[in-house]
Structure formats: structure tokens, C-alpha cells
Amino acid sequence: MTSYTDKIREISKRLLKEGKVDMVIGFTKGSVPMMNQPMFARNQNDVDGFAWDGNCGINLANYVTGRSEKIGIVAKGCDSRNLAVHIVENKIKRDQLYIIGVPCTGMVDRHKLTASVGGEIEAIEEDAAGKTVTISGNDFSETVDRVDVLQENCALCMHRNPVIYDELIAEEVPEQTEESVDRYEAVRKVEEMSPEEKWAYFDDLFSDCIRCYACRNACPLCYCPTCFVDESKPQWVGKSIDPSDIRIFHFLRAYHCAGRCTDCGACVRSCPMGINVRALTKKLEKDSLEYFGWEAGLTTEQRPPLDTYKPDDPEQFIK
Amino acid sequence: MKVIQIDKSELDAGLEKLESEFRLIGPVKEKDYHLFTTLTPGQKPDLEYINTRLSARSILYPQSEVMFEFSLDKNDENYAVLKEPQKDRQPTAVIGIRPCDADAYEVVRRNFDTPEYKDPYWLKNYESTTLVGLACSKPCPTCFCTSAVSGPFSEKNVDILLVDNGDHYLARLVTEKGEKLAESAGWNRPAENADETIEKMKLDAESKIKSEVATDNLASQALIDLYEAEAAIWEPEAFACINCGTCTHACPTCWCFDVQDETYGKAGFRMRNWDSCMYPLFTVHASGHNPRGTKIARIRQRFMHKLKYYVDKYEKGIQCTGCGRCVRLCPVNIDIRRICNKMNSYDPETCSCAVTS
Ligand code: SF4
Ligand code: SF4
Ligand code: SF4
Ligand code: SF4
């Protein structure tokens, strides 16, 4: 990934030098493995901090919300889709952005890797060809195929190449297709469950949730000035770790993301407990596709289906 | 201090004896990580664990805890009266707590047990709990306890310290409480030359800790200088932070809570829930004004509290035992070690830090 890193630095430097942007937002290497940090550069000297590898799974669209500067932003496929959502929802203007598109081959799953070894991972290396990942720490070192340790959302991603951009840093990567991956297999499994099985499934899914809200706060869609769980006049949801309040938070949040979620996986990546909150949003993604033929973030021209009204809507309930 | 030897093969039998006297809590792996769990009869703690994903804070200080109950039924004699619920505070023993988590109780106690104010909930739990610590012979790369206020063999706040020595544990009985527990468990075989062995293993473990923080200047730095170090410290650090509160929730030494009333039908509960200075609601006033309304202000509060206000107020070092959880779990790599080193090396003359990473 050194070529990606070099290219990002080079473009950022040029943009700042030419005064095309006031700042560039990208990633820098984290102080611990698998945890790269979003960073900004305001002057040319800072661009050497930028880096790119398979640990850039945070969604950078989250960092442009409501900003007033002219921004260069490093964007993989999903980030670019969330930028499109942001543009449609007036969270940023298209002409404020210079999108540095990164063709993406997926991010590695920090939860899976952490769980796969007995000790703490001290270092992670990807080979130049992008085929393997080597993790090591006290008394262990293991090399695995990169495709086997991708985040689940990345393994199922259909838009690895940025959908909107001003410049690409490399050749486009081949896209996966409906024929090559079955992206709704897990959703169908849950759909097929009996009510009791579903109850048990969701009960278990959220059993360790500590309600820290990392999932929500990592999400570029969750930009409400006050989230419904934080409202106090009236207070919609209890604040304890009562299971029903935890579920209300997750289910309502998921509905707020319907038709807007790009399945970037930032929520799951950020969760300290590795809870697969995508189990909810993926279902809504599937419904959006099946009912409205809609995939989020592919256009800056059209608002998502659940926040538009058409007088000729075929559904009777709306009239 | 007396050191006894407990063969690993006789540990379970001892724990079973303790079951009649204590509620036992220990590290258990149910999903992909270990958490402290109340052990059901016969269930064993996994003492081969490294550390729990979340700290031991919730054992004494549950994330949500009912303080009072009341009734909203006008015909009820308890209508609108706050009553403390009956709580089961049976003697509890935590088996295998790591020294960093045990030392964190000492840190929290400075706030919950003062001459002016005593937190009855925390203190009652603390007093009824015996801590059987487990020394760390293989510290993790992100552990920095030795330069924080703990250490891999720290016995400052455990009642017994277990040291894994192959097929047996060497158990140092640190307090009277610890001696009593060992007696109840039937562990009483004196260990030979144990102090020497433990000392050697301790030095070995300490030498394996590669990560550290510099704290020597924190007390002498002027508070206002650090507070105002926006360009050198707070702005760049605040940029990535998503204010998620993962760090404070995972932390054994964070103590802030929020009081809430909830009702279920006509039954009412006044409870306290953990809060986090990383949340906008933490300081919001009834008027709607928020004196800590920005991300920079919030991130500054977390680190100023842990690394400056606490240091100045108690003169017992930093409010951090170096467990490394926030370092491992922060989704965007806000690393307290980096920030501590920046604060420690900050030069107000030049408005810069000697270290940047
Ligand atoms: S990030 Fe994880 S633990 Fe935190 S609220 Fe979301 S699901 Fe729960
Ligand atoms: S420092 Fe990290 S863990 Fe803490 S609130 Fe900020 S992003 Fe979350
Ligand atoms: S501040 Fe971080 S390293 Fe220190 S005790 Fe808390 S979680 Fe552990
Ligand atoms: S103010 Fe913040 S850092 Fe300090 S104890 Fe409270 S939550 Fe933790």
C-alpha cells in the first residue's frame, strides 16, 4: 500500500500548494495496530503524516459534516457514497469538496483478528501484493489470507471504487457482483427465524452492549444536533442498560438510517464489544433495494426514498 | 507476609468451598473476550486470561444502579416517598482481578470515600468484597502500569496476590481479609523461599513492559498553561475523537454518574447510570446552555481530569492505572500515552511539546 500512501501525500501536497483546498482529511498510522487515525493537514509539511492500508475503516464522511472550509478528502468506495448522502442532505456542498478517490480492496476486521489469537496483537503487516496479512505479538506470529479476514461489510461490498471523485489515486479495482457474493445471506437467515428464535437472536446480539454510542458516533448519518436517545424534554428512552432501552436505541437508530446507510461498517469497527449492529441496517438496505430499487449514496441528484413524497406513490397507505 | 502454595489441581476444590460463604466473581469468556461474571455454582473462572475487555469497575459500581424506589400510586402508603431498596450485599470475592483493576479501586476510593462525603453504595460493596489478585507475568504491549499508578505485581490493593508458577500458584496473603479467605478455602500449605521467587518474577514482568508515560512534570506545569494549550495539544487530538465515550466506559478509574428517575407503571426508581465527560449532555444546563459545548472542551476535560486536576488535588499520581483499555479500544486511536507525554513536555514559552507521538 506504499504506492497508495505516496499518491495520497503527493495529491494532498499539490492541492494545498495550489490553494485548491484549505485542508485535506485522510488517515495517519495509529499508535496501535489496526487503529488508524483520521487526521487533517492544513499545510504542505503535514502531508507526510498521511498513510493508507487495510486499517482505514473509519468513515471519513463523518468528519466533513457542517464544515465551512474547502476540503480535500480521501475517500474509499463507502466514504464517497456517504459524501454523496451528505451532499443530498445538505451537510456539505459538492463544490466544497475535492474528493481523492481510493479504489479499495476492503478493510481488515480488527475484531476477528483480535479474537483469533490468544495475546494482544503488536504488529500487523500486509504483503505488497495485498494477498496476506501477518499479525504478531508476544510468542506468536500468524499469516492469513487477506480475503479471509476482511470486515464482513467489505467482503460483501459492491462499490469498492469511489462513486464520486475528483481524482483517483490508482486504477479502479474489479467490482464484486451479485453472482460472486451473496450479500443478503445473513439477513435471510434471520428473516427465516420464528419469532422466538428472532427474540433470542437479538437478545444475544445486544447482550453485551454498554450503550457507549460508539456505533452511532462513528456513523456519518448520525449527525442530528440532539439524538433521540439524548432528548430530555420529553425523554423518549431510559438511560440505563435495561435491555428494552438498549433495543429501542438500536432499532430506532437503524430505522433512521434506512435508505441512507451505505454499509461502510464504521459502526461495527468502532464498537468496543464488536457487536454486529449491521445486522439491523443490512436488513433495511435489503428492503430499500427490494421495495424501491434503491442503493444509498450512488447519486447526488435524488433524495433517499424514505424522505421523499410523490403524489403518484403506488402505496395506498400514504394517501 | 505469609506466602502459601496452591496447586492448580486443588484450586477448584478451594473455590467450591468458598461458594457457601462468598458470591464468587471471575473472568469468563462467553463471546470473543473475557468479562467479569458472577460465577454460578461449579462454574470456574478462567485464570489463563490476559485481561477482561471491560474493567472490574462495574463489580463495585454497576453501570446502572437503583438507589431509591418510590410509588406513584396515591393509595400506596409509600406514595412519593423515596425508600432505599433492600440490597443483597453478601460477601463477595473477585477471583483473578489484575493489579491494575484492583489499584483502580484505590483511585476511585479517593473520590467516593472522603471526610466530607461517603458514597454508601460503592463503599458497602467495597467493604464486602475480597480481592484475589492475579499477577501479570506476561504484560501486553499496551500495558503501561509501571509508569502509571500500578504494576504487574502490585499488591497495594489486593487481599491476596496469586502468582502463576507453572503447576501451582504462589499466594501472598496481603491482608487479614485475604488470610481469612485462604483459610475458608483450605489453602494453607506454606511455600518455600517464595518471596525470592516472587521478587524475581516481578522484576522480570516489569522489565517486559515496553510502554510508558512520563508524568514527572505534570504537577509542576501550570494548570492554565495546559488548559490553554489548544494549538499544541487539544485541537489536533480533538479532531479525530468522535466523543463516543468508549474510553471512559472501558476505564476502571472513571467515576462519573448521572441520576435519573424512571417509572414502570406506578412503580418508580431513582437510579444512577455511568456518565461520560465525552458526552455533550454531561454538562448541559437546564437552560440549554452547555459550558462544555465543543469537542475540544470535552476531550480536554477527560485528560485534564485524569492527568492534571486529579494529580493536583490528591497528590497521588495520575488517575490512570495504565491498564491500556482506552488505548486498545478507542476507535480512532486517541492514545492517552501520547497525550500524557505531550502534557508532561509542554513548554508554554514556545507553545510546543517535546514529543508529538
Ligand atoms: S458501540 Fe457497541 S457497545 Fe457501544 S452502543 Fe454501539 S453496539 Fe453498544
Ligand atoms: S477518545 Fe476515542 S474512545 Fe474516547 S470518546 Fe474520543 S473517540 Fe471515543
Ligand atoms: S485512562 Fe485508559 S489506561 Fe488509564 S486506567 Fe483508564 S482505561 Fe486504563
Ligand atoms: S470527568 Fe471524565 S475522565 Fe474524569 S472521571 Fe469523569 S468521565 Fe472519567
All residues of chain B having their beta carbon less than 8 Å from the beta carbon of residue A269 are: 331
Please report which confidence band the pLDDT of residue B125 belongs to, taking 50, 70 and 90 as the band edges. very high
pLDDT tens, residue by residue, A234-262? 889 999 999 999 999 999 999 999 999 99
* Angle separating helix axes B120-127 and B99-112, nearest 10 degrees: 140
| A214 pLDDT higher than 90 | yes
> Residue A269: helix, strand or coil by DSSP?
helix
* Residues A305, A288 contacting (CB under 8 angstroms): yes
Taking the CA atoms of A252, A253, A254 and A258 in sequence, report the sign of the dihedral they define: positive
Specify the pLDDT at position A314: 75
A211 lines ligand 1 (CB under 6 A): yes
Name the closest-CA residue to atom 4, ligand 2.
B247
Residue where one domain finishes, among candidates B207, B232, B267: B207
Q: Cα(A175) to centroid of ligand 2, in Å?
A: 34
**Same domain as B177, residue B288:** no
- A62: which chain B residues are within 8 Å (Cβ-Cβ)? 242
Cell of A9: 501525500
Closest approach atom of ligand 2 to CA B243: 5
Tell me what pLDDT residue A1 has.
63
For A112-157, the pLDDT digits (tens) are 999 999 889 999 999 999 999 999 998 899 999 999 999 999 999 9
* Inside any domain, residue B356: no
Whether the CB of A32 is below 8 Å from some CB of chain B: the reply is yes
Using an 8 Å CB-CB cutoff, list chain B residues near A63.
Answer: 239-240
Element at B61 (helix H, strand E): none
| Residue B218 covered by a domain | no
- Confidence check: pLDDT of B115 > 70: yes
Number of H helices, E strands in chain A: 10, 8
CB contact under 8 A, A31 and B246: no
Same domain, B180 and B266: no
**Is B357 part of a structural domain of the chain?**
no
Nearest CA to ligand 2 atom 8: B244
Query: Which residues in chain A are closer than 8 Å to B295, comparing Cβ atoms?
Result: none
Number of H helices, E strands in chain B: 13, 12
Segment A43-77, tens digit of pLDDT: 999 999 999 999 999 999 999 999 999 999 999 99
A261, A296 contact by CB (below 8 A): yes
B252 lines ligand 3 (CB under 6 A): yes
The answer as to whether B104 is a domain residue is yes
Average pLDDT of every residue of chain A = 95
Residues of B in contact with A216 (CB under 8 A): 244
Q: Which atom of ligand 3 is nearest to the CA of B144?
A: 3
pLDDT at A98 over 90: yes
For residue A318, pLDDT beyond 80:
no
Q: Chain-centre distance of CA B5, in angstroms?
A: 28
Closest-CA distance, B325 to chain A, in angstroms, reads 10
B273 lies in some domain: yes
User: Could you say which of B172, B207, B242 is where a domain stops?
Assistant: B207
B292: in domain:
yes
- Pick from A43, A121, A240, A245 the residue to mutate for testing the B interface (most B CBs within 10 Å): A240
Cell for B283? 454538562
pLDDT band at A309 (very low <50, low <70, confident <90, very high): confident
Q: How much is the average pLDDT of B30-48? A: 96
Ligand 2 centre from B351 Cα, in Å?
25
> Between A and B, how many CB-CB pairs are < 8 A?
116
Q: How far apart are CA B66 and CA B261, in angstroms?
A: 9
**Looking at the domain assignment, is residue B184 inside a domain?**
yes
Regarding whether B148 and B39 lie in a shared domain, the answer is yes
Residues B11 and B59 in one domain: yes
Hey, are the CB atoms on B335 and A32 less than 8 Å from each other? yes
- Other C-beta atoms closer than 10 Å to the C-beta of A61 total 31
In the predicted structure, residue B229 carries a pLDDT above the cut 90: yes
Q: Which of B241, B240, B238 is nearest to B229 (CA)?
A: B238
Note the pTM of the prediction, 2 decimals: 0.95
- Ligand 2 atom showing the smallest separation from residue B333 Cα: 2
Cα–Cα distance for residue pair B89/B127, rounded to 1 Å: 10
| Domain assignment of residue B351, yes or no | no
Task: Assess whether B70 and B175 both reside in one domain.
Answer: yes
Query: Contact A138/A69 with Cβ under 8 angstroms?
Result: no
Q: What is the mean pLDDT of chain B?
A: 96
Residues B28, B139: one domain? yes
Residues B194 and B54 in one domain: yes
Same domain, B190 and B287: no
Give the pLDDT score at B357. Answer: 64
Task: Let me know whether B164 and B292 are in one domain.
Answer: no
Strands annotated E in chain A:
23-28, 37-41, 71-75, 97-101, 123-126, 132-137, 140-145, 167-168
Rounded to a whole number of angstroms, the distance from the CA of B182 to the nearest CA of chain A is: 30
Report pLDDT digits (tens) over B187-221.
Answer: 999 998 999 999 999 999 999 999 999 999 999 99
**Domain assignment of residue B244, given as a range:** 223-345
Instruction: Identify the pLDDT of residue A313.
Output: 76
Name the closest-CA residue to atom 1, ligand 3.
B320
Do B194 and B154 fall within a single domain?
Answer: yes
**What average pLDDT does this structure show over B276-295?**
93
Q: Are residues B266 and B162 in the same domain?
A: no
Is the CB of A277 inside a 6 Å radius of any atom of ligand 1? yes
Residues 6+ apart with CB under 8 A from A281: A254, A257, A258, A261, A263, A267
Which residue shows C-alpha cell 463471546? Answer: B31
**pLDDT at residue A315 tops 80:** no
Same domain, yes or no, for B179 and B65?
Answer: yes
Q: Which residues of A touch B141 (CB under 8 A)?
A: 32, 120, 122, 137-138
The predicted pLDDT at position B1 comes to: 84
Categorize the per-residue pLDDT at B44 as very low, low, confident or very high, splitting at 50, 70 and 90. Answer: very high
**Percent of chain B, pLDDT > 90?**
96
Contact B164, B47 (CB under 8 A): yes
CB distance from A214 to chain B under 8 Å? Answer: yes
Task: Quick: pLDDT tens for A268-286.
Answer: 999 999 999 999 999 999 9
The 10s digit of each residue's pLDDT in A145-200 is 999 999 999 999 999 999 999 999 999 999 999 999 999 999 999 999 999 999 99
Task: Enumerate residues 6+ apart whose C-beta is below 8 A from A79.
Answer: A59, A60, A61, A73, A162, A264
Cα B245 from Cα B203, distance rounded (Å):
35
**Among B321, B329, B338, which is best to mutate for testing ligand 3, by the most ligand atoms less than 8 A from CB?**
B321
Weakest mean pLDDT among A203-207, B77-81, B131-135, B151-155: B77-81
Residue ID of nearest Cα to ligand 4 atom 5? B254
Cα dihedral sign for A207, A284, A286, A199?
Answer: positive
Structural domain tally of chain B? 2
ipTM associated with this complex: 0.95
Give the pLDDT confidence of A2-24 residue by residue, as tens digits. Answer: 799 999 999 999 999 999 999 99
Q: Strand pairing partners for B92?
A: B23, B129
Interface contact B262-A120, CB threshold 8 A: no
Identify the residue with better confidence: B77 or A87.
A87
Contacts within 8 Å (CB) and 24+ apart, A187-190:
A187/A279, A187/A282, A187/A283, A187/A286, A190/A279, A190/A283
**Looking at residue A319, what is its pLDDT?**
58
Which of the pair, B89 or A298, is modelled with greater confidence? A298
Q: Are strands A123-126 and B257-264 parallel, antiparallel or unpaired?
A: unpaired
CA of B303 relative to ligand 4 center, distance in Å: 8
Cα(A40) to centroid(ligand 2), Å = 17
Which amino acid type is present at position B161? L
C-alpha cell at A59: 468513515
Choosing from A206, A219, A277, A278 the residue with most ligand 1 atoms within 8 A of its CB, the one to mutate for a pocket test is A277
Which residue's C-alpha cell is 498513510? A51
Distance CA B109, CA A82 (A): 45
